[in-house]
Amino acid sequence: MSKIVLEVEGLRTSFFTRKGIVKAVDGVSFFVREKETLGIVGESGCGKTVTGMSIMRLLPEPGGKIVGGRITLNGTSLLELSKREMRNIRGCMVSMILQDPMTSLNPVYTIGDQIAESVRMHQNLADEKMITNEVVSSLRLLQIPSPETLLKNYPFQLSGGMRQRVVGAIAMCCKPSLLIADEPTTALDATIQAQYIALFKDIQAKTDVAIIFITHDFGVIADMCHRVAVMYAGKIVESASTSEIFKKPQHPYTRALINSVPRLDRKDDRLYSIEGQPPSLMHLPPGCRFCERCSDSLEICSKEEPPEKNIGNNHTVSCWRVQ
C-alpha cells in the first residue's frame, strides 16, 4: 500500500466572534495516501473549506483558530511549525485550489509572472529560462492550450474555466505531494464538470499527488474519489471506500446525500432534498447533530453523541442505529 502523505487527528477549529464561538471543525480525523483521492462531502457550511484552510494554516485572522488536534504532512507536524516554516511548506509540499479562483489571481500581473513568482519562491532556480520552462510545463500539466501565448495574458482576458486551470497550474507548479481542491460553488455545467474531473485524474496519473477533493455532490465522489469522508455540522459522520459507501451507506445523512444525486435512470425527475437545516455551530445540541432531521432516530439520539464505530473494511460510522 502506498505511504500516508497526510494524517489529521482530532482537528478542532473555531471562530471566536462577538456573538460567540463557532465550532466549524469539531474533532475531525482522516488520512490520505500517495496517489489517492479522498473526497470530503457535505452540505454548505459543514466545515469542508475550514478543514482545508486549517491544513494550509491559512485561517482568517483574527478569529479563526485551530484549538486542538494534530496535522502531520510527510512526517512533519504542521501545527508545531513557525509561520515562516509553514510558508515554505505551503506551495511546495501542499497547495490548495480555492473555491473562488479569482481571489487567488492578481489582476495586475500576467499569468506567466504569477506562476513564475510561485516557482521562484519554492524552487531554487536562478536561471530565468529554467523558470519559464517550469511555468510552461505546469500550464501543460493543466492542459492549457498554447501556454507560451497564454502566459503573456492577464487574468481578465481568460474565461472562467481557463482561470480555474491557471489557479491549478499555480498550485501544481512546485510539485506538491498533497493538493487540496475546493470545488467551485458556482455550478459548473455538466460538460465543464466532467472535464474538470478528468483533468484531476490526469494530473494524479502523471504526478502521484495525493488529492483531497472537497464537494457537496456525491455524483462527483463516484467519478473522482477512492475514499470518502462525509461531513455534517463540523464532524465526519461516516467514512469508507467509495464503492463501499455506495453499496452499504450506514448513516441516514449519507443515504440522504446519495439520494439527492440526480439520476438519469430514475423515472420521476424530482430532486430529493433533505428537509430542515443543520444545527447552529454556535449552539450545538447535546446528542447526535443530525437527530433533528433524522426520520429514524431513537430516544438516545437527542441525548448523547454517538461514538464512532469501525464496522470493518475501514468503514467508520457515528450513528446509534449502527451496532
Ligand X SMILES: Nc1ncnc2c1ncn2[C@@H]1O[C@H](COP(=O)(O)OP(=O)(O)OP(=O)(O)O)[C@@H](O)[C@H]1O
Where do contacts with Mg ion occur on this chain (CB under 5 A)? 49
CB 318 within 8 A of CB 290: no
If one asks whether residue 50 binds ligand X (CB under 6 A), the answer comes out as yes
Q: How far is the CB of 194 from Mg ion (least distance, A)?
A: 21
Q: Of these, 6, 46, 167, 169, which contacts ligand X (CB under 6 A)? A: 46
Amino acid in the structure at residue 281: L
Q: Of these, 1, 18, 19, 60, which contacts ligand X (CB under 6 A)? A: 60
Amino acid in the structure at residue 104: S
Q: How far is the CB of 143 from ligand X (least distance, A)?
A: 26
If one asks whether residue 286 binds ligand X (CB under 6 A), the answer comes out as no
Site residue total, ligand X (CB under 6 A): 19
If one asks whether residue 44 binds ligand X (CB under 6 A), the answer comes out as yes
- Which residue, 63 or 145, is less far from ligand X as judged by CB? 63
Q: Of these, 8, 15, 38, 155, which contacts ligand X (CB under 6 A)? A: 15
Please give the grid coordinates belonging to residue 151: 502566459
Please give the grid coordinates belonging to residue 239: 467514512
If one asks whether residue 290 binds ligand X (CB under 6 A), the answer comes out as no
At residue 297, φ and ψ (nearest 5 deg) are -80, 155
What is the rounded distance in angstroms from the CA atom of residue 125 to the CA atom of residue 134? 10
If one asks whether residue 17 binds ligand X (CB under 6 A), the answer comes out as yes
- Which residue, 24 or 119, is less far from Mg ion as judged by CB? 24
Torsion angle, alpha carbons of 256, 261, 265, 267, to 10: 60
Stretch that binds ligand X, among 42-50, 111-119, 187-195, 313-321 (CB under 6 A): 42-50
If one asks whether residue 281 binds ligand X (CB under 6 A), the answer comes out as yes
Distances (CA, A) of 114 to 100, 186, 226, 230: 17, 24, 32, 35
- Which residue, 102 or 205, is less far from ligand X as judged by CB? 102
92-131: contacts with ligand X (CB under 6 A): 99
What is the rounded distance in angstroms from the CA atom of residue 202 to the CA atom of residue 298? 45
Peptide bond into 252 cis (omega under 30): no
- Which residue, 17 or 106, is less far from ligand X as judged by CB? 17
Stretch that binds ligand X, among 56-64, 77-85, 143-151, 256-264 (CB under 6 A): 56-64
4: left (phi over 0), alpha (psi -120 to 50) or beta: beta
Place of cell 506562476: 115
Residue 291, contacted partner among ligand X, Mg ion, none, CB below 5-8 A by kind: none
- Which residue, 15 or 213, is less far from ligand X as judged by CB? 15
Q: Of these, 6, 22, 38, 169, which contacts ligand X (CB under 6 A)? A: 22
What is the rounded distance in angstroms from the CA atom of residue 58 to the CA atom of residue 74? 19
User: Would you report the helix, strand and coil content of the chain in percent, each value rounded to 5?
Assistant: 35, 25, 40
